[in-house]
């Protein structure tokens, strides 16, 4: 951040600002110029706003130097499947893994449609303690077996640092869910692995906060991070969330990391999933992730937003048509 | 609205509910059933939520019977140009009409690209009284003349009931802006005309409130209403507004009126306009409306989000490609 | 606004910025300093954000010079009743004037409790065209007569410029409602009168936008403006709105205008009105405004949030106790 | 939740609903009545909204049976200090524990003002990985020692399940922060202890979601839960968060758990902390929690919102005056 003092700031006030920036853990560098200004990393806007001698400040890319480094775009590779290589990656699978049969049916359908990455929940974060919270390690094994049977890569959610190792053994990509986007011990834990990470946007996270969450993972040494837009909190009960598709082009200008979109959670209304998947691709997303269930009416969680298998087929066809139209 | 009482509601409590519904201007109809329930139009959710004997209620289409009537989709026709006929209508023009030369340059560029509807602001609602507020009737005349010269229809904003008549003489379509979505005297005034209306979504309007605003126009006898999504207020400073593209499929299930999208205001960042216009069309929008300026750097308002003429050309090409991909 | 260019900005880039600022209607003044900087009023943050040569900017009080002028706090006087003189002004009355008897009963109760300003709606902005929209001029006359009978001043809402003159004849203070906070022709119209104005905050207006709306009135020559916080739009259906009481101390640091709070609309739940009125006063508000009805269950609008007359008595007693505790 | 089917629902449709509810982990009970209705716990509104045969539903207290059980209000006791016993509990301390001297200075000041509960951060969740993240176990020990020296109880934040045991040894109350309100493994972990829990509201959590988070703790067997309102995300950059004081009376009607308010994070502006602490108490809060620092300008985190020691003295005096005014 560059911090500029008021033109009438006194020497003592400047010392006080330096003191405050140092106290906040930064090593401020005085910049040349008639007005007094500093380069100071790692300090918050809230802090500088509160210093009376400060007139202005602005964020530099150095706020999240790894997430916004210049240079080539990152391609994230999950078992030879790519995110960010110019093709649209379609990830699909059940909200929750419910039985070996259910996940095999979905995996089989995905493979038949040419998809290569299977999602599925084994440990489910649920708003109510009385809701179905997933079948745990058993589910993770069924997911793995179904994926192996059909030649698919696996992405699944981890909810706590102590579960990361087991997940790395069974999954090819670790999802950090919306509710955990600022679970910093978890971000650090997945950052210590070399397994690719799917980082969902928090319920009401700004793009800046989201990139800083990614920075936690990157800073740990794991450079394989895919961002996943999944809607933010809104005042309108018409939808479950408000899908922020403009995040796609706005992030493209801010980060080299791939960005995909989850229209299932992003709207939470089955009939809107296909149009919004198409819209995401038209906006430039590197992929989409959707929930599918062999029998959504019997799903143990979020069945209302799951696609049927035939709908998944329609989605794939329509998304591919948009993709072709964009690359012509 | 259907209002259902608690199963233990007494006769006296039921009378009190009937009394309250009548007092609110409704004529409640008792529904058959063991639990006491009423059909009561024109009462608010807030009212029924506050009645202790009421257990549940739900909105019926009768909340906005005209905006959500069953039957064929409405096609709005502006000088032989259609909204809602299955083709994507692209509306373009300057944020503000600044001179006869400026608007003619834009009109000429639009016509050359095959566009047929020109937008332009003559009376501008501005957050600050010290901002440029438009050149008024002069601007409206220059807009009309430029449109005539190039064979275009004209849409422009009206801000008060007393200005509606003059606008109808010079424009082919009246825009009601976001800040006026609940300016009920203005809605009534445009509802009394037979000029098509472009009704933008309010800054933080729910879909329900937006449809009720449309209902004001329809109820006045003017059935030619196009809804225009233009982003809602958000917590994230990364963009000017949060463009809610899911409104497109969600409205399609709720209303027969055409829906278009304004990505210029919806994001407020020039480089995001083309991707979001493409996304809008992929989501199923009946059209897009964008701001264009011969020299955005010199624009007197909102130049930062205006497209250049070459960018408009690119937008048209890319939107048409998406449109073709969708209809194949 | 002070606009500071990047330290590596070229002379040509500086000229382009000057050009853009002038085009936006401002007369930029070059400031002394090694980095190039300008004072430029009347330009939007959106504009300067979009200029690539601009590194930083900040708003100065000159953004709304009248609403934030230094100097003594404004006292608004309505028929010898004051807002902003250090005492808590309690405004009460029915949401809508429904009959001469109803408004007289409320006026009588208010007077008996020592209150001196009566509110009441004659022209009601309603989300649905099928809701009760007020009884118009008749209601305004009943309100006036009841107020006269009990020695009260009258505040009532105006919805359109053409209705301002008639309202000035019958009312002592004009309310501009939330939905009209950015109805600029209306703000200009009430700014041309010398009748005090009660300006409610818009549904999702920032403090900055609200002060700019006040600036429209002040700039018209009417300096008698009271700001009224009434809750903003929120994601939580638990309440009708989210009452932003921190606006009270934050505005006190930004403006000399009095600030009152409307907890009836601000929460929309009757049982929360008294606690939030007390909280508003403890936060430093210059007054509160509440809805009261002789028989809330029969109210034709918003009865669910109206206080009964005995509750109004309790509110007055509790608010006065807080007021005394604060001035000791 | 009570789920009511459309009056024209067929027998087959009813079976499908039962199937869906069972699949979601519920054991639906058919209710008596002409229309078909079920009592079904543990299913989400999203699920039932998506079932076409469902006409209406409503949440019953059984959604969070422990957090909203009828009966006496819970008093939470932390080392003989009470929350919810009718007195206002004032918790104060530094944002982060920075040195033995700093925390001792604050503890000493708190004790001198008659306060009895000391807060302080040892493990700090920070948006940026480059910000100061707290001094860890050392800080927790300094906090404990300072508290012991001055006869205070200690509340501090825990960020991950594996840290709960150590925190229980050194602290008297465990804070779960906003970013972790839906960190379900952490909620379960603190629910297994018998140490009182301070549960902050999530950044954009509804009251319903917050009570469900409390339910996770209660369900684990830990009944000593205090809720802490700390502001929610907003569109207005004027403040750090939007403090939702109406949550205080609204929660009082929904839960027996004590509710306190943190105006330091809730507004994030030092000068607004005292007015909002007073407002919280006037709204009926069971306590307030504020940040204080011997030298806010040198604080390593959030110094801009920390009170000085003299300001803490003023806060205590003014809060006590409001408290007395309310109990007279």
pLDDT in tens, C173-185: 999 999 999 999 9
∠ at Cα C315 (C311, C320), nearest 5°? 155
Is residue D201 a part of any domain in this protein? yes
* B327 Cβ under 8 Å from any chain A Cβ: no
Is residue C289 a part of any domain in this protein? yes
For residue D20, count other CB atoms closer than 10 A to its CB.
Answer: 28
Is residue B65 a part of any domain in this protein? no
- Tens digits of residue pLDDT in A28-40: 777 655 677 777 7
Q: What is the pLDDT of residue C19?
A: 80
Domain final residue pick, A58, A88, A103: A58
Is residue C67 a part of any domain in this protein? no
Q: Which of the other chains make 3 or more beta carbon contacts under 8 angstroms with chain D?
A: A, B, C
Q: Can you tell me the distance from the alpha carbon of A327 to that of B292, in angstroms, rounded to the nearest whole number?
A: 25
Q: Which of the other chains make 3 or more beta carbon contacts under 8 angstroms with chain C?
A: A, B, D
Is residue D90 a part of any domain in this protein? yes
Exposure on the CB side of residue C237, measured as CA atoms within 13 A:
11
Q: Can you tell me the distance from the alpha carbon of D9 to that of D37, in angstroms, rounded to the nearest whole number?
A: 11
Closest C-alpha among A308, A278, A271, A281 to residue A292 = A308
Together in a domain, C29 and C113: no
Q: What phi and psi values does residue A197 have, to the nearest 5 degrees?
A: -120, 135
If residue D56 lies in a helix (H) or strand (E), which one and from where to where?
A: strand D54-58
Together in a domain, B220 and B284: yes
Q: Can you tell me the distance from the alpha carbon of B283 to that of B274, in angstroms, rounded to the nearest whole number?
A: 14
Together in a domain, C193 and C89: yes
Mean of pLDDT over chain D:
91
Q: Which residues contact C148 (CB under 8 A, 6 or more apart)?
A: none
Query: Picking from C19-28, D225-234, D239-248, which range would have the lowest pLDDT averaged per residue?
Result: C19-28
Residue of B nearest to A318 (CA): B326
Binning pLDDT at 50, 70 and 90, where does residue C147 land?
A: very high
Q: What is the pLDDT of residue A237?
A: 84
Q: Can you tell me the distance from the alpha carbon of D111 to that of C192, in angstroms, rounded to the nearest whole number?
A: 57
Q: What tokens were used for D279?
A: 């407002």
What are the chain A neighbours of C31 within 8 Å (beta carbons)? Answer: 7
Environment class of B155 (CB within 10 Å of its CB; exposed 0-12, middle 13-18, buried 19+): buried
Q: What is the pLDDT of residue D131?
A: 81
Chain A nearest C-alpha distance from C145 (Å): 41
What are the chain C neighbours of A57 within 8 Å (beta carbons)? Answer: 56
Query: Picking from A61-75, A261-275, A285-299, C104-118, which range would have the lowest pLDDT averaged per residue?
Result: A61-75
Residue C97 has pLDDT above 80, yes or no: yes
Chain B nearest C-alpha distance from D9 (Å): 13
Query: Picking from A177-191, B28-42, B254-268, which range would have the lowest pLDDT averaged per residue?
Result: B28-42
- Tens digits of residue pLDDT in C105-119: 999 999 999 999 999
Together in a domain, C219 and C295: yes
Query: Picking from A82-91, A194-203, B65-74, which range would have the lowest pLDDT averaged per residue?
Result: B65-74
Residue C224 has pLDDT above 70, yes or no: yes
Residue B260 has pLDDT above 60, yes or no: yes
Q: What is the pLDDT of residue D38?
A: 80
- Inspect the interface and report whether the beta carbons of B236 and A266 lie closer than 8 Å: no
Q: Are A267 and A295 in contact (CB under 8 A)?
A: no
Determine the average pLDDT of the residues in A113-124.
96
Closest C-alpha among C279, C283, C277 to residue C263 = C277
Is residue D70 a part of any domain in this protein? no
Q: What is the pLDDT of residue B60?
A: 54
Query: Picking from C81-85, C210-214, D11-15, which range would have the lowest pLDDT averaged per residue?
Result: D11-15
Which among B246, B271, B281 has the least Cβ separation from residue A249? Answer: B271
Determine the average pLDDT of the residues in C281-288.
98
Which among D2, D33, D56 has the least Cβ separation from residue B34? Answer: D33
Q: What tokens were used for C251?
A: 């505005």
What are the chain B neighbours of D57 within 8 Å (beta carbons)? Answer: 56
Q: Can you tell me the distance from the alpha carbon of A148 to that of A135, in angstroms, rounded to the nearest whole number?
A: 19
Q: Which residues contact D83 (CB under 8 A, 6 or more apart)?
A: D75, D76, D77, D89, D226, D258, D260, D286, D287
Is residue B70 a part of any domain in this protein? no
Together in a domain, A305 and A191: yes
Binning pLDDT at 50, 70 and 90, where does residue A20 land?
A: confident
What is the Cα C296 distance to its own chain's centre? 25
Instruction: Determine which of D39, D184, D295 to mutate to test the interface with A (most A C-beta atoms within 10 Å).
Output: D184
Residue B301 has pLDDT above 90, yes or no: no
Closest C-alpha among D1, C162, C220, B248 to residue A272 = B248
Q: What tokens were used for D187?
A: 């909620």
Determine the average pLDDT of the residues in C221-227.
96
- Inspect the interface and report whether the beta carbons of D46 and A240 lie closer than 8 Å: yes
What are the chain B neighbours of C270 within 8 Å (beta carbons)? Answer: 50
Together in a domain, A45 and A90: no
pLDDT winner (highest mean) among A123-137, A203-217, A291-305, C58-72: A203-217
Q: Can you tell me the distance from the alpha carbon of C71 to that of A63, in angstroms, rounded to the nearest whole number?
A: 40
What are the chain D neighbours of A129 within 8 Å (beta carbons)? Answer: 184, 212, 215-216, 219
Residue A292 has pLDDT above 90, yes or no: yes
Together in a domain, B141 and B257: yes
Together in a domain, B116 and B36: no
Binning pLDDT at 50, 70 and 90, where does residue C172 land?
A: very high
Residue with the larger pLDDT of the pair B36 and C104: C104
What are the chain D neighbours of B49 within 8 Å (beta carbons)? Answer: none
Q: Are D134 and D121 in contact (CB under 8 A)?
A: yes
Q: Can you tell me the distance from the alpha carbon of D173 to that of D152, in angstroms, rounded to the nearest whole number?
A: 12
* A203 Cβ under 8 Å from any chain D Cβ: yes
Kindly report the CATH number assigned to the domain that includes residue B208: 3.20.20.70
Mean of pLDDT over chain B:
91
The number of distinct structural domains making up chain D is 2
Q: What tokens were used for A150?
A: 């059909």
If residue C310 lies in a helix (H) or strand (E), which one and from where to where?
A: helix C309-327
Report how far apart, in Å, the C-alpha atoms of D42 and of each of B40, D14, D64, D70, D84 are. Answer: 31, 19, 9, 20, 29
- Inspect the interface and report whether the beta carbons of B303 and C47 lie closer than 8 Å: yes
Query: What is the share, in percent, of chain A residues with pLDDT greater than 90?
Result: 69
Residue B58 has pLDDT above 70, yes or no: no
Determine the average pLDDT of the residues in B283-292.
98
- Tens digits of residue pLDDT in A5-15: 887 788 788 88
Q: What is the pLDDT of residue C23?
A: 72
* C27 Cβ under 8 Å from any chain B Cβ: no
Q: What are the residue ranges of helices labelled H in A154-296?
A: 164-170, 184-192, 207-219, 247-252, 263-267, 270-282
Report how far apart, in Å, the C-alpha atoms of B175 and of each of B78, B145, B179, B263 are. Answer: 13, 19, 11, 16
Q: What is the dihedral of CA A112, A116, A120, A125, to 10 degrees?
A: -140
DSSP A77-142: EETTEEESSSSPEEEEE-SB---HHHHHHHHHHHHHTT--EEE-BSS---SSTTS----HHHHHHH
Closest C-alpha among A184, D233, B9, B307 to residue C232 = D233
Residue of A nearest to B250 (CA): A272
ipTM of the complex model: 0.85
Range of the domain at A117: 76-327
* D203 Cβ under 8 Å from any chain C Cβ: no
pLDDT winner (highest mean) among B60-64, D60-64, D242-246: D242-246
Determine the average pLDDT of the residues in B186-215.
96
In terms of phi and psi (left: phi > 0; alpha: psi -120 to 50; beta: otherwise), the region of A29 is beta
Residue D172 has pLDDT above 90, yes or no: yes
* D126 Cβ under 8 Å from any chain A Cβ: yes
Q: Can you tell me the distance from the alpha carbon of C275 to that of C266, in angstroms, rounded to the nearest whole number?
A: 12
What are the chain A neighbours of B248 within 8 Å (beta carbons)? Answer: 275, 279
Size of interface A-C (CB pairs under 8 A): 37
Instruction: Determine which of D3, D56, D241 to mutate to test the interface with B (most B C-beta atoms within 10 Å).
Output: D56
Query: What is the share, in percent, of chain C residues with pLDDT greater than 70?
Result: 96
Q: What is the pLDDT of residue C62?
A: 60
Residue B9 has pLDDT above 60, yes or no: yes
Q: Are B41 and B1 in contact (CB under 8 A)?
A: yes
Environment class of A136 (CB within 10 Å of its CB; exposed 0-12, middle 13-18, buried 19+): middle
Is residue D64 a part of any domain in this protein? no
Residue of D nearest to C269 (CA): D250
Q: Which of the other chains make 3 or more beta carbon contacts under 8 angstroms with chain B?
A: A, C, D
- Tens digits of residue pLDDT in C20-40: 887 776 777 776 556 777 877
Together in a domain, A120 and A204: yes
Binning pLDDT at 50, 70 and 90, where does residue B150 land?
A: very high
Instruction: Determine which of C62, C130, C213 to mutate to test the interface with B (most B C-beta atoms within 10 Å).
Output: C130
What is the Cα A216 distance to its own chain's centre? 13
Domain final residue pick, C58, C89, C105: C58
- Tens digits of residue pLDDT in B104-140: 999 999 999 999 999 999 999 998 888 888 999 999 9
Together in a domain, C215 and C97: yes
Query: Picking from A306-315, B13-22, B236-245, which range would have the lowest pLDDT averaged per residue?
Result: B13-22
- Tens digits of residue pLDDT in D250-280: 999 899 999 999 999 999 989 999 999 999 9
Residue C2 has pLDDT above 70, yes or no: yes
Chain A nearest C-alpha distance from B246 (Å): 7
Closest C-alpha among D242, D294, D299 to residue D272 = D242
Q: What is the pLDDT of residue D313?
A: 98
Residue A244 has pLDDT above 70, yes or no: yes
Residue of D nearest to A50 (CA): D304
- Inspect the interface and report whether the beta carbons of A245 and B250 lie closer than 8 Å: no
Together in a domain, D129 and D33: no
- Tens digits of residue pLDDT in C309-323: 999 999 999 999 999
Determine the average pLDDT of the residues in B87-105.
97
Together in a domain, D178 and D270: yes
Q: What is the pLDDT of residue C101?
A: 97
253-312 in B: which are within 8 Å (CB) of C?
Answer: 268-270, 297-305
Closest C-alpha among B168, B173, B169, B163 to residue B123 = B163
- Inspect the interface and report whether the beta carbons of A33 and C233 lie closer than 8 Å: no
Residue C91 has pLDDT above 70, yes or no: yes
What are the chain B neighbours of A206 within 8 Å (beta carbons)? Answer: 235-238
Residue of A nearest to C233 (CA): A235
- Inspect the interface and report whether the beta carbons of C128 and B184 lie closer than 8 Å: no
Binning pLDDT at 50, 70 and 90, where does residue D128 land?
A: confident
Determine the average pLDDT of the residues in A220-243.
94
Determine the average pLDDT of the residues in D290-309.
87
Q: Mapping DSSP to helix (H, G, I), strand (E, B) and coil, where does residue D209 land?
A: helix
Q: Can you tell me the distance from the alpha carbon of B299 to that of B295, in angstroms, rounded to the nearest whole number?
A: 7
Residue B61 has pLDDT above 60, yes or no: no
- Inspect the interface and report whether the beta carbons of C183 and B183 lie closer than 8 Å: yes
Q: What is the pLDDT of residue A59?
A: 59
Q: What tokens were used for A306?
A: 């799951």
Q: Can you tell me the distance from the alpha carbon of A300 to that of D301, in angstroms, rounded to the nearest whole number?
A: 44
Q: What is the pLDDT of residue D251?
A: 96
CB-based contacts of C167-174 (< 8 A; 24+ apart in sequence): C167/C140, C167/C195, C168/C193, C168/C195, C170/C140, C170/C141, C170/C143, C170/C144, C171/C140, C171/C143, C171/C144, C171/C195, C172/C78, C172/C79, C172/C196, C173/C78, C173/C117, C173/C197, C173/C198, C173/C226, C174/C198
65-124 in B: which are within 8 Å (CB) of C?
Answer: none
């Amino acid at each position: 951040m560059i911090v500029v003092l008021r033109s009438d700031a006194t020497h003592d006030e400047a010392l006080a600002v330096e003191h405050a920036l140092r106290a906040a853990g930064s090593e401020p560098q005085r910049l040349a110029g008639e007005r007094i200004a500093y380069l100071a990393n790692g300090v918050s806007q809230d802090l500088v706003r509160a210093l009376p001698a400060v007139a202005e400040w602005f964020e530099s890319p150095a706020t999240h130097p790894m997430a916004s480094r210049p240079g080539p775009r990152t391609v994230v590779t999950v078992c030879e499947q790519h995110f960010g290589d110019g093709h649209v990656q379609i990830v699909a699978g059940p909200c929750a893994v419910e039985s070996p049969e259910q996940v095999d049916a979905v995996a089989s359908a995905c493979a038949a449609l040419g998809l290569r990455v299977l999602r599925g929940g084994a440990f489910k974060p649920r708003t109510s303690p009385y809701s179905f919270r997933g079948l745990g390690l058993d589910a993770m094994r069924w997911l793995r077996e179904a994926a192996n049977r059909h030649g698919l890569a696996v992405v699944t959610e981890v909810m706590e640092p102590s579960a990361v190792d087991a997940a790395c053994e069974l999954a090819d990509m670790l999802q950090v869910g919306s509710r955990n986007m600022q679970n910093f011990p978890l971000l650090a834990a997945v950052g210590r692995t070399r397994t690719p990470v799917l980082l969902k946007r928090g319920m009401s996270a700004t793009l800046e906060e989201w990139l800083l969450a990614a920075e936690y993972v990157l800073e740990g040494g794991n450079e394989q991070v895919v961002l996943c837009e999944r809607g933010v909190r809104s005042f309108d009960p018409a939808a479950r969330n408000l899908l922020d598709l403009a995040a796609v082009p706005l992030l493209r200008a801010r980060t080299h990391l791939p960005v995909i979109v989850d229209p299932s959670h992003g709207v939470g209304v089955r009939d809107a999933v296909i149009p919004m998947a198409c819209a995401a691709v038209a906006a430039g997303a590197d992929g989409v992730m959707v929930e599918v269930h062999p029998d959504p009416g019997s799903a143990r969680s979020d069945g209302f937003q799951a696609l049927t298998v035939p709908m998944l087929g329609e989605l794939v066809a329509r998304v591919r048509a948009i993709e072709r139209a964009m690359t012509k």
